[in-house]
């Protein structure tokens, strides 16, 4: 059966794609949703002067806000209604998942099935609103004074009315993006939130490439360095593809049974991905770092010159700015933690061992039950160490080299990892829809032939 599925999957072509009407509808819906996302990134907050804001963005380039701006597809520098993107939603999801692991009450809700999942999603939405309100208020206050410190007036009429309008607009924009991501997941090709993040990163890719080649043309970058960057990025993409496909297959054997061909025992493999958590650890780690850093940076601008509190916030921003040793250390720790945490959420060794025992499956040489659970836990821990190390290297090494060599290539390892991983997942989703369409055609043909025989 597996070989038949593999041969059918390898036979997917464009002619079959043209016949898959349902898949085309899903792709058009996804494309339309992403276009709406990009259009919203150009809708400014009420009371903001786009011209003054553009000048302010040029004077305040650098730091963590540039990294945040990449994730939001340029919406932050334009102060659009979706300036915060989906980061508050991701942060709220982290808090809810951590609380589920620590709170017995939330753990019991999670075990209620579909109704429990809806309750947890509702808690996540409440948390998203709260986080967006806090970040939106700090950004609105910081924006009022940020322009004054630079001799600009990005806010037409500063005051309470602007702050309230900005907070309401940012909450509406973030909640709309959250809803849009859920619609892409259910009515599109899946991975809605990841696709929105990827669309924001890809939107900056043309500008990044133009800056890179412009540096080679003007002579500000050595041609050898330019070629080395291109080769390194290509090699990094190949390495990411290899690691994302890497698996540790565990042999599973089922009891012997009598068939027409004699006594046979069925064998299969349980595949465990080296990087079980996917792009979740970098996204979660960056989200947790970006939220307080964004608040502190805007708050530091708002409190400029107001005593020791301002000095403390400015020092904090300097120590934790994007690319600093402390920032990279915290980022690496976050990636490693969420690699193990999310892997434990996705794969439960106890539940898997119980299911194998229930259906008569076992690992050769390992007794069913607790021994199988311990073996799964042992193997999963070892491959997660490799996966966490791979994610840490991919996310931090390119950024360190760029900062050390002063190369103007702002598509870091985290962005590259998200783009490649989400692209691979989307292609896999499309292939699954095509495969289901082909199986549906075969079933229809079989039913028609059966009807004629009658």
Three-class SS of 59-125: HCCCCHHHHHHHHCCCCCCCCECCCCCCHHHHHHHHHHHHHHHHCHHHHHHHCCCHHHHHHHHHHHH
Closest CA to 138 of 302, 253, 16: 302
Output the pLDDT for position 130. 93
Q: Report DSSP state, residue 81.
A: T
Q: What mean pLDDT do residues 125-145 have?
A: 87
Closest CA to 240 of 28, 4, 411: 411
- Is residue 304's pLDDT more than 60? no
SS3 state of residue 304: coil
Whole-angstrom distance, CA of residue 50 vs CA of residue 44: 7
- Looking at mean pLDDT, say which of 86-90, 142-146, 394-398 comes out highest: 86-90
Distances (CA, A) of 240 to 43, 191, 367, 426: 35, 19, 36, 15
Whole-angstrom distance, CA of residue 184 vs CA of residue 187: 5
Whole-angstrom distance, CA of residue 131 vs CA of residue 196: 19
State the CATH architecture for 20-435: Orthogonal Bundle (1.10)
Q: Which helix (H) or strand (E) holds 168?
A: helix 160-187
Residue 454's pLDDT band, with cuts at 50, 70 and 90, is: very low
Output the pLDDT for position 10. 44
Closest CA to 236 of 409, 384, 66: 409
Output the pLDDT for position 172. 94
Domain ranges of the chain: 20-435
Output the pLDDT for position 2. 40
**pLDDT digits over 310-363, tens only?**
566 666 666 666 667 888 888 899 999 999 988 988 888 888 888 888 888 888
Residue 33's pLDDT band, with cuts at 50, 70 and 90, is: very high
SS3 state of residue 263: strand
Q: What values do phi and psi take at 259, rounded to 5?
A: -130, 180
Whole-angstrom distance, CA of residue 279 vs CA of residue 387: 11
Q: What mean pLDDT do residues 165-184 have?
A: 93
Q: What mean pLDDT do residues 192-197 have?
A: 88
Output the pLDDT for position 59. 65
Across 243-349, where does the E strand assignment appear? 247-259, 262-273
Nearest-10 crossing angle of helices 223-245, 413-453:
40
- Which residues pair with residue 253 across a beta bridge? 267, 362
Q: Name the burial class of residue 198, with classes exposed (0-12), middle (13-18) and buried (19+) by CB atoms within 10 angstroms of its CB.
A: buried
Whole-angstrom distance, CA of residue 400 vs CA of residue 360: 51
């Amino acid at each position: 059966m597996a070989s038949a599925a593999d041969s059918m999957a390898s036979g997917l072509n464009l002619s079959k794609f043209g016949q898959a009407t349902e898949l085309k509808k899903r792709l058009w819906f996804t494309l339309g949703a992403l276009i709406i996302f990009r259009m919203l990134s150009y809708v400014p907050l009420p009371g903001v002067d786009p011209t003054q804001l553009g000048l302010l963005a040029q004077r305040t380039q650098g730091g963590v806000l540039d990294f945040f701006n990449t994730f939001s597809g340029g919406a932050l520098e334009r102060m659009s209604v979706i300036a915060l993107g989906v980061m508050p939603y991701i942060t709220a999801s982290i808090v809810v998942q951590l609380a589920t692991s620590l709170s017995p009450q939330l753990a019991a809700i999670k075990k209620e099935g579909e109704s429990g999942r809806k309750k947890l999603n509702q808690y996540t939405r409440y948390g998203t609103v709260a986080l967006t309100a806090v970040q939106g208020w700090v950004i609105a206050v910081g924006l009022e004074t940020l322009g004054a410190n630079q001799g600009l007036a990005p806010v037409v009429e500063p005051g309470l009315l602007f702050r309230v309008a900005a907070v309401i607009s940012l909450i509406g924009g973030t909640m709309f993006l959250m809803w849009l991501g859920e619609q892409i997941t259910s009515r599109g090709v899946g991975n809605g939130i990841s696709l929105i993040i990827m669309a924001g990163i890809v939107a900056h890719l043309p500008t990044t490439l133009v800056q890179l080649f412009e540096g080679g043309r003007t002579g500000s970058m050595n041609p050898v360095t330019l070629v080395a960057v291109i080769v390194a990025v290509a090699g990094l993409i190949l390495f990411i593809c290899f690691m994302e496909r890497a698996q540790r297959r565990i042999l599973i054997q089922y009891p012997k049974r009598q068939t027409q061909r004699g006594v046979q025992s069925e064998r299969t493999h349980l595949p465990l991905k080296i990087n079980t958590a996917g792009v979740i650890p970098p996204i979660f780690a960056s989200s947790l770092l970006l939220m307080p850093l964004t608040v502190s940076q805007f708050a530091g601008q708002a409190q400029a010159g107001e005593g020791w509190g301002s000095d403390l916030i400015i020092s904090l921003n300097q120590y934790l700015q994007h690319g600093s040793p402390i920032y990279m250390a915290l980022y690496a720790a976050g990636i490693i933690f969420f690699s193990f945490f999310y892997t434990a959420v996705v794969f439960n060794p106890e539940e898997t061992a119980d299911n194998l025992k229930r259906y008569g499956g076992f690992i050769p040489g390992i007794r069913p039950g607790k021994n199988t659970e311990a073996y799964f836990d042992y193997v999963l821990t070892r491959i997660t160490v490799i996966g966490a190390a791979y994610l840490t290297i991919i996310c931090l090494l390119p950024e360190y080299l760029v900062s050390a060599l002063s190369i103007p290539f702002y598509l870091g390892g985290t962005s590259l990892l998200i783009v490649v991983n989400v692209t691979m997942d989307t292609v896999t989703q499309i292939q699954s829809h095509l495969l289901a369409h082909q199986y549906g055609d075969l079933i229809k043909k079989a039913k028609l032939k059966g009807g004629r025989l009658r």
